[in-house]
């Protein structure tokens, strides 16, 4: 279901418990998989197609951190408010469920688990989002439960 | 404390519950903070020093995913075996505790929480690591509890 408000006019009040948002389309590109992994996660199965072919994965797979980063780009472009994001204290239960390979096309499904006003700060609320990253076969390749502090349109 | 074995000869048996390993030194570079965020986390406080100065952060801060990626590079270079890493099913309790800023110098402290042989697969074990990322003032800026599957030197 779409948000009632555009991303430049989106506040805590627009994140409604139980709603599910799907968005984004990112192709996983081999050169980018290798580039990311050389910088941040230099394991053979992320950086070297030939060596990767000889592992249990049978070929190159993206670093789990690269998959997370690609998710974040879609989350920032489509879900997270552009005007009231007050950063994130963290996340729980991050799971890398299936390999992500060059040529895969990823998208995101977010289910809003909880949206509650902050007890200590009347200008914001706390939104808990269950995030799933899907591939082109609608298989869930990664999931996590993330928390964002979001500014309120009308402070309490 | 150092590992008994070099990273190219390190197996499940070398990850010992209760041991603490500290390693790495990564300077946070402004141009890299901006580059990462433009690709993966385009929020003003990660991409635009002037706009960031007007936020609660008072200046540019690294994307939490960038901090995680810098951690992973040190983890792969110093901690994770180069010969027996069988990937990770996920992590829990990731916390972004303090802002990470250009000029900060990050390092890693890992405490081995648990190291148990796999029940179903005799060729590997499951290592749970509590990871802390520290800045140059020894402040913990990020922490998480990560799980790695590691091959055994001597299958059970």
The partner residue sitting opposite A96, judged by closest CB among B69, B89, B96, is B89
In a domain, A53, yes or no: yes
Of residues A94, A108, A100, A109, the one with CA closest to residue A143: A94
In a domain, A44, yes or no: yes
**What is the rounded CA–CA span in Å between residue B68 and residue B144?**
10
Which pLDDT band, with edges at 50, 70 and 90, does B155 fall under? confident
* Whether residue A1 has pLDDT greater than 80: no
pLDDT tens digits along B93-138: 999 999 999 999 999 999 999 999 999 999 999 999 999 999 999 9
Q: What pLDDT does B34 receive?
A: 98
In a domain, A92, yes or no: yes
At residue A60, φ and ψ (nearest 5 deg) are -60, 135
- Whether ipTM tops 0.90, in short, is yes
**CATH number of the domain that A18 lies in?**
3.10.129.10
The tokens describing A66, both together, are 């690269």
* Whether residue A12 has pLDDT greater than 80: yes
pLDDT more than 90, % of chain A: 94
What does pLDDT average to over chain A? 96
In A, minimum Cα distance to B147 occurs at A95
Mutate to test the interface with B, among A26, A62, A91 (most CBs of B within 10 A): A91
The partner residue sitting opposite B95, judged by closest CB among A41, A85, A89, is A89
* Whether residue A155 has pLDDT greater than 90: no
What average pLDDT does range A119-142 have in this prediction?
Answer: 97
In a domain, A78, yes or no: yes
* Whether residue A113 has pLDDT greater than 80: yes
Taking an 8 Å Cβ-Cβ cutoff, which residues of chain B contact chain A? Answer: 36, 39-43, 45, 56-57, 63-65, 68-70, 72-73, 76-77, 80, 85-96
What average pLDDT does range B8-19 have in this prediction?
Answer: 97
What average pLDDT does range B50-77 have in this prediction?
Answer: 96
* Whether residue A87 has pLDDT greater than 90: no
The partner residue sitting opposite B90, judged by closest CB among A39, A89, A96, is A96
Going from the C-alpha of B102 to that of each of B14, B134, B136, B137, B138, the distances in angstroms are 35, 14, 12, 14, 16
In a domain, A1, yes or no: no
Q: What pLDDT does A34 receive?
A: 98
In a domain, B2, yes or no: no
In a domain, A156, yes or no: no
What does pLDDT average to over chain B? 96
Q: Do A94 and B90 touch (CB under 8 A)?
A: yes
The tokens describing A78, both together, are 């489509």
pLDDT more than 90, % of chain B: 94
Note whether A118 and A125 are within 8 A (CB): yes
In A, minimum Cα distance to B68 occurs at A65
Q: Do B68 and A65 touch (CB under 8 A)?
A: yes
In B, minimum Cα distance to A88 occurs at B96
Q: Say how many domains are in chain B.
A: 1
pLDDT tens digits along A35-49: 999 999 999 999 999
Q: Tell how strand A105-117 and strand B140-151 pair up.
A: unpaired
The partner residue sitting opposite B41, judged by closest CB among A36, A45, A72, is A72
**What is the rounded CA–CA span in Å between residue A11 and residue B95?**
23
Mutate to test the interface with B, among A69, A77, A150 (most CBs of B within 10 A): A69
Q: Do B95 and A86 touch (CB under 8 A)?
A: no
The partner residue sitting opposite B90, judged by closest CB among A76, A90, A95, is A95
Q: What pLDDT does B124 receive?
A: 97
In a domain, B1, yes or no: no
Its pTM stands at 0.97
Domain span including residue B84: 7-151
């Amino acid at each position: 279901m779409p948000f009632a408000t555009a991303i430049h006019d989106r506040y805590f009040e627009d994140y409604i418990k139980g709603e599910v948002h799907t968005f984004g389309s990112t192709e996983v590109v081999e050169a980018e998989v290798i580039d990311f992994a050389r910088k941040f996660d230099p394991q053979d199965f992320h950086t070297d197609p030939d060596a990767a072919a000889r592992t249990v994965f049978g070929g190159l797979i993206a670093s789990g951190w690269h998959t997370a980063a690609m998710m974040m780009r879609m989350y920032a472009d489509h879900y997270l408010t552009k005007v009231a994001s007050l950063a994130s204290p963290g996340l729980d239960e991050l799971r890398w469920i299936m390999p992500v390979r060059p040529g895969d096309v990823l998208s995101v499904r977010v289910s809003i688990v909880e949206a509650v006003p902050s007890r200590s700060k009347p200008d914001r609320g706390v939104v808990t989002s269950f995030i799933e990253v899907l591939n082109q076969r609608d298989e869930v390749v990664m999931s996590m439960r993330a928390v964002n502090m979001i500014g309120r349109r009308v402070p309490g």
